Structure 1
């Protein structure tokens, strides 16, 4: 009889289990190794997909319960849950969630008491980055109005066009931009009331500031803004698209909700302090930035305008942990003189788009271990990519999971004809991996395209029909992308009549039309040219003169600076005797873009925009070399 504590001898099954267990372990190790080698991003892809699904399920559950929750509803919920928490920090002043709720209610009551605005009406908003931009936006949203964000840089003809195209009942303008509206006041369509956030206003303008002083800050009944459908318009955001003057893209309640989830999807939390220097009239600043802070219940530090010299001081002063960027911001920061303690900050994430690989690497080397969260998405588009892995240079990646939810393709494109290539049967073809192709996204009930306000032709122009089979419809992003062998996607270039400069899309036809208004110009052909170490392309105009007319460079300068935003003014001019055109009489651009602005390659007269002399000056070889070496700032 064995004593207490004596061990039972191993049974016959134990020796048989040992090799099985060790074999299982070896198999698991082999599978793990194979997964690492063959599917290195499997788990990152899966976890990111689960986040996306979770977001979609949440929206669907709300819908099935009959609770159509919008970004405004989420803000009101945050104001109830954490009224004292700072929402906006601006120039040292703190605006809590409760402050913004009350101030926006004042705006709503001011319009209720002193205007005939109704639910569904459009109101245009022309303001710089400031807390009142958010107060007015939310105040009008509380009345169920659609708010049209106007680009604060545009003036004259372009501004008037944007106001007319969205057909607003009212226009609200910031104090610093009132002068721009005064210029066009006599030309505004009848029935538009103009409100300025200023005490002293000219005749024909209503002082919103005065009305706010006596307005109630009590909650506005939810019946004023409750959404009947998530596909109803929430905002109009202007984009240059691919041709002509700016167009108002329709942003539905659903699109705003999806965009507001971006920061959360990248791993931001309610504890983050998010630095927004991007303009709020763009979807990045307003929806991803302000909407993203609301989704999280976080705090945002709002800056009137980006300043490279003050950037890191602000980050340290306000304990910033996340900032939004466009590629130009990162490049400007890298160009700043080096200082001690540049890695001494709390920034852990940067969310944005358009940073070049070389700038990305330099930025990380210089400023520390900041995760760059690059993304891609057009304001009006029905597709987006998010680089959740941090792969340098990529805007995102595709995989089996992604394809289940978003149908997109990269198709062959004819750069000279400026159109997709179709075979003898009339179908488009896919590009091979590693080759640039036009990004198109399938339009269906799951991924609709809501288009633009007003002229249906603008919406139709963005759609490609009968692409791979009869009856299919795709959204044309106008962007060339490359997909590598690991399924990462990289931005390659813009196509057609648009180029990107200073973080803005510039429609070449709009610039050409402004130059063409001069009485000595016969034709103008505008396009973008690459400049070393600069993001995007800067503007260049090739022009021909009318017979017996001479070139007036000072008048060209005066014309573009008067009627165009600074970023859209062509930096270079090329004077040609004859304009080459396509078979459909469109000016040819391909060869001009290839030749750029080099006086070594081009025999035509070339000129460069000189802001000090307020004219265009001859582009000499010396001047060209200075531009190429970065000694002259563009």
Structure 2
């Protein structure tokens, strides 16, 4: 009898296992991943119940006490232990405590490239309870001034290699902003932070300076090109920083991992996922000033890297490198990032070995994220009934001609079917708040959709089109509206158009992104109407864009039109222009290409077009 029962139970388990494998193949992957998500949420809730507001800084200080001699940052061969970073950041905190009028809650802007002092200054200011605003190192002139004014800092800290950029705009920086340079000798009107650090104490400041009153209070501003205009300062709360820091852990990284960070720290991927992610784990990071495709694998071998962060372009650059012997001879087991194309994904694995690509999706300021915990090629993540209990979202129909969500006769939005692209939106509520942007509420309001499915509901508009397949995997499809992504950066088309529109011979400019074969994202193209009786000056346009815009935002192509189509709401029509691209055989309007050698735009001929498509001319 017992034998028959055991046989029946065994047969039943085998049957259930077969059913699970056939009908629910990702059940256990989903189960263990969601268990991690729940566990992380429970940890935060427990701390809250105990009246503790444990921040990323608190976790760093805990590691500095528990494992002081463990390497935290490795930079150009130099090792900075947790204790080293703690002491150096104490010196920074002491300088500002003794030589400035900074108070808890004040904002300090930070303009620095990737280097250990970026982290020292960031953590030192955090120890004073200051909000740190990360400025994009590529932004120049009026755009940089705009960023400084937007976050309203009391002080600005500038890296030694970027002092020249600030010196150009120093007379226009608000007078109440003290400017500190990371160099012994700094231009007139600045203060040498390096000199002050040389005599500063390493003694820690009182915890009362930085203890958080709430995890929803602001700790950072990270600038992002939103849907319109100049960069906006996204508000990053302690809670968002904690969630970002859990990314590496959620992808099964451990304290024993060595994480290679080549992405800029002024972006959330490098700072929150990278630096804060290592703090969450108590791990070591190898920090690189700038990504180098030729040095990448040598660095990985030299420092025994086990995990690296990527964007799609980074992986594409690595695949474009000449093949060498021993390319699979490394210890890298995981790569965490976003934006990699399927073909590059497959090519990367074939060439460099069994590396698990951990793709994720999430906007800096957004309240929704996805993580591809299964490794499905091309997918940014996966959803199911239980996942949506924690991270609710919808994919809604979008009118590409009008460039806005599609609404029915009752003025409600509707969801797309599986397999169709839809605009990703996420409800804004207490559980999933949207903290918005510094400055005018108008910027925050522009990222929200109201009365979507019922009166009074509010949704965060990601600005991204996604597709959900029959197995509930999610895929990035495209960006909408007035932004495009190039070289790993978001570009606001109106900012580019405003810069070009300053020229006295241009009447109207319409900027949009176009796809170029073999490249991630879209590169910039500007359609231009000249003023009556004015001639086109291609050298002046070139000088204007390279002087005023970051390199990634400069339009690579120009199109000269006699008139421009508008939508029903009088917005410039982009859809048709994007579809037509830059093929001179299909477009009768004059086309031009940005030539950096000639420092001008030159006519886009059929021969030049073919060279670009074949990859013989690099963009």
TM-score scaled to structure 1, two decimals?
A: 0.97
Q: Kindly report which structure 2 residues correspond to 1:226-265, keeping only aligned pairs within 5 A, or say none.
A: 226-265=211-250
Give me the whole-angstrom Cα distance separating, in 2, the residues matched to 1:338 and 1:299.
29
Give me the whole-angstrom Cα distance separating, in 2, the residues matched to 1:580 and 1:195.
48
The corresponding residue for 2:293 is: 308
1:194 matches 2:190: no
- Partner SS, residue 263 of structure 1: helix
- Partner SS, residue 357 of structure 2: strand
1:405 matches 2:405: no
Alpha-carbon distance, 1:587 to partner: 1.0
The corresponding residue for 2:534 is: 549
The corresponding residue for 2:330 is: 345
- Partner SS, residue 329 of structure 2: coil
The corresponding residue for 1:326 is: 311
- Partner SS, residue 139 of structure 1: helix
1:535 matches 2:486: no
- Partner SS, residue 463 of structure 2: strand
The corresponding residue for 2:39 is: 54
Q: In the TM superposition, what whole-angstrom CA distance separates every residue of 1:392-441 from its partner, at most 9, and x where no partner exists?
A: 00000001210111110000000110000001111101100000000000
Alpha-carbon distance, 1:213 to partner: 0.8
Give me the whole-angstrom Cα distance separating, in 1, the residues matched to 2:543 and 2:520.
26
Alpha-carbon distance, 1:483 to partner: 0.1
Give me the whole-angstrom Cα distance separating, in 2, the residues matched to 1:403 and 1:207.
51
Give me the whole-angstrom Cα distance separating, in 2, the residues matched to 1:543 and 1:286.
38
The corresponding residue for 1:582 is: 567
The corresponding residue for 2:347 is: 362
1:562 matches 2:543: no
- Partner SS, residue 63 of structure 2: helix
The corresponding residue for 1:4 is: none
Q: Kindly report which structure 2 residues correspond to 1:3-14, keeping only aligned pairs within 5 A, or say none.
A: none
Larger Rg: 1
The corresponding residue for 1:614 is: 599
The corresponding residue for 1:137 is: 122
- Partner SS, residue 402 of structure 1: helix
Give me the whole-angstrom Cα distance separating, in 1, the residues matched to 2:247 and 2:200.
35
- Partner SS, residue 611 of structure 2: helix
The corresponding residue for 2:27 is: 42
Alpha-carbon distance, 1:190 to partner: 2.2
- Partner SS, residue 351 of structure 1: strand
The corresponding residue for 1:417 is: 402
Q: In the TM superposition, what whole-angstrom CA distance separates every residue of 1:64-114 from its partner, at most 9, and x where no partner exists?
A: 111111000000000001111110000001101001000000000001111
1:214 matches 2:199: yes
Give me the whole-angstrom Cα distance separating, in 2, the residues matched to 1:470 and 1:39.
37
Q: In the TM superposition, what whole-angstrom CA distance separates every residue of 1:595-619 from its partner, at most 9, and x where no partner exists?
A: 0000011000000000011000000
Q: In the TM superposition, what whole-angstrom CA distance separates every residue of 1:325-377 from its partner, at most 9, and x where no partner exists?
A: 00000000000000000000000000000000100000000000000000000
1:180 matches 2:165: yes
The corresponding residue for 1:335 is: 320
The corresponding residue for 1:223 is: 208
- Partner SS, residue 102 of structure 1: helix
Q: In the TM superposition, what whole-angstrom CA distance separates every residue of 1:163-204 from its partner, at most 9, and x where no partner exists?
A: 000100010000100111111111111200000001111111
Give me the whole-angstrom Cα distance separating, in 1, the residues matched to 2:36 and 2:496.
43
Alpha-carbon distance, 1:20 to partner: 2.8
- Which residue of 92, 95, 117 corresponds with 2:102? 117
- Which residue of 255, 270, 277 corresponds with 1:270? 255
Q: Kindly report which structure 2 residues correspond to 1:440-519, keeping only aligned pairs within 5 A, or say none.
A: 440-519=425-504
The corresponding residue for 2:275 is: 290
Alpha-carbon distance, 1:27 to partner: 1.4
The corresponding residue for 1:431 is: 416
- Partner SS, residue 508 of structure 2: strand
Give me the whole-angstrom Cα distance separating, in 2, the residues matched to 1:499 and 1:484.
24
Hey, which bits of structure 1, 4+ residues long, moved more than 4 A? none
- Partner SS, residue 337 of structure 2: strand
1:147 matches 2:139: no
| Mean CA deviation greater in 337-346 or 196-205 | 196-205
The corresponding residue for 2:508 is: 523
- Partner SS, residue 137 of structure 1: helix
Alpha-carbon distance, 1:28 to partner: 1.2
| Mean CA deviation greater in 578-587 or 589-598 | 578-587
The corresponding residue for 1:396 is: 381
The corresponding residue for 2:590 is: 605
Give me the whole-angstrom Cα distance separating, in 2, the residues matched to 1:619 and 1:115.
55
- Partner SS, residue 425 of structure 2: strand
Give me the whole-angstrom Cα distance separating, in 2, the residues matched to 1:128 and 1:18.
70
Give me the whole-angstrom Cα distance separating, in 2, the residues matched to 1:460 and 1:153.
27
Alpha-carbon distance, 1:470 to partner: 1.0
Q: Kindly report which structure 2 residues correspond to 1:99-118, keeping only aligned pairs within 5 A, or say none.
A: 99-118=84-103
- Partner SS, residue 108 of structure 1: helix
- Partner SS, residue 284 of structure 1: helix
Alpha-carbon distance, 1:553 to partner: 0.3
Structure 2 contact 402–568 (Cα < 8 Å) conserved:
no
Give me the whole-angstrom Cα distance separating, in 1, the residues matched to 2:453 and 2:564.
36
Give me the whole-angstrom Cα distance separating, in 1, the residues matched to 2:213 and 2:566.
50
Alpha-carbon distance, 1:582 to partner: 1.7
TM-score scaled to structure 2, two decimals?
A: 1.00
Q: In the TM superposition, what whole-angstrom CA distance separates every residue of 1:232-267 from its partner, at most 9, and x where no partner exists?
A: 001000000111000000000010001001100100
The corresponding residue for 1:3 is: none
Alpha-carbon distance, 1:586 to partner: 1.4
The corresponding residue for 2:557 is: 572
Give me the whole-angstrom Cα distance separating, in 1, the residues matched to 2:124 and 2:509.
44
